[in-house]
Structure 1
Amino acid sequence: MADDLEVFNAHRERLRGVAYRVLGRAADTEDVVQDAWLRWSAVDQAEVDDPEAYLVRVTTRLAVDRLRSAQSRREAYVGSWLPEPVVTGPDVAERVALADSVSTAMLLVLESLSPLERAVFVLREAFGYSYAEIAGIVDRSEPAVRQTAARARAHVEDQRVRYDTDRATRTAVTERFLAACAGGDLGRLVEVLAPGVALISDGGGLAQAPRKPILGAELVARALVTFAGRTPDGLTAEIVDLNGGPGIVARAGGAVVSAMTLFLRDGLIETIHLIANPEKLTAIPPAR
């Protein structure tokens, strides 16, 4: 019979995926997964018929409780709040629905849901659990879960923006964008930006970043060139898979100083998420 840790590790990535989509914070995700392990290690495995169901139930409830306590802290957050970026592999990027569910744009939309709505939406839309299974996970009746899921889905569909999903296009535009930023080429930068592009920066009061969104191609291009010009000596930037798609990670002295994700519509950059808050960059590995 498999030991406690072996069984838990078999489901760890799923638990991490559920917790991250519910919370939008990498550090909180790891705390929740660790708490789930403590719960799991304290139970008699022989009494658990379905380890995955038990672990997902525990993880979801822990994540919902933590999200409720975090919402008051976010109300006092300095500047724009963005989900923490995480490194994802090509396997996620190649599955469009899964990649979309972990993108910072989708996670930002999910912020407008209640903790219960968010958990139900994640379990149903990202992981495909049945309404009956979700009812057991969140301790609600199946009809109540169906209503919650419908309400959450309608809200998300009303709020979300449909961005380009073609990976080749996103990668090519990201490469052009990075080259223009690195070269301080304002003209080439404007060429890849949509006229109404929005730059949303998250410094959390701990790093230099605009506290309000910057709108419009000219203003965004100038802000990015200025931002690039203020970076420390020895800065390097590379394209990395972030949240299900190509992103840009900047490092100085081996330490991560910013992460950027670009969202395209009709081949042009419509929205830019720039995370510079050092507390939100801990899930991205330092330089190899």
Structure 2
Amino acid sequence: MKPYIYITRKLPEEVLRPLLDQYEVEMWEDENSSVPRDILLEKAQKASGILSMLSDTIDKELFEQSPNLKVVANLAVGYDNIDLAAANEKGASVCNTPDVLTDTTADLTFGLMMAAARRLIEADRYVREGKWKSWSPLLMAGMDIHHKTVGIIGMGSIGEAFAKRAKGFDMDILYHNRSRKPEAEETLGAKYADLDELLTQSDFVVCLAPLTPETKGLLQKEQFQRMKSSAVFVNAARGPIVNEDALYDALVNGDIAGAGLDVFEKEPIDEHHPLLSLKNVFALPHIGSSSVETRMEMMELCVSNIRAVLEGHIPNTLVNKD
């Protein structure tokens, strides 16, 4: 009997070809919704491998009910949706997809910052709604990016890739991270700052930190009030790092000028989300790594990791190395 692999989203068949001959593979076929919890638990009970998404909760309950489970391959860099302690207790490998999406996510983050600063989405709507009647000197005037100060919260690989793009726009780069990055300081001219200093000095504050117990809820009312009233906040990391009520109040009260958001506390959001009622908010549906090339490479890495574990080898991107 072939080992069974469950995939929690529909993926292209060509990506799965290396698995189809050796294993029994089943996917959740609805592209527009997450696999329901009861179905995930049911499928996990017989699975040797699971290819999961960041929105799937792979917790202690699931591991305890899955006697054959050897590997969980998460289609994301983050893996806070997976209970690592339970995986270790089970002896199951947990894998993610770092590195392959670094540049793609940095591109999107920089684009989101530009869109927020130069009001690109708002200007597009202005034209489409037939409001453009004449040229005027300050029509849809936004903020310059070049020669401004950007503060990066989270100087991992994506943060450094973003900083490279900022350097190309002659931006002054501050960063806050749990450890110093001497190489980035030397090659990019980035300067380490504590969080308060970064918030008060930056024209753009860009969050690219991982979600950890230390970063969850990091940005509250006090942090937004320390920012410049002309500043733009960008979050392409994880939603729970930010208190969204505090962000909403900061935008309404004029504590900051605008926000570009690719992530939210609870996803997906609907059209009634309070932040979407504000004209100075630019929102995307968590598409930081969403280029065709990168997503295909991420899927291929997940497939490779599953095969490696089930064939008795060490996977390329093992999270729980201990």
The structure number with the bigger radius of gyration is 2
Greater RCO (Cα-Cα under 8 Å, separation 6 or more)? 1
What TM-score, normalized to structure 1?
Answer: 0.27
What TM-score, normalized to structure 2?
Answer: 0.25
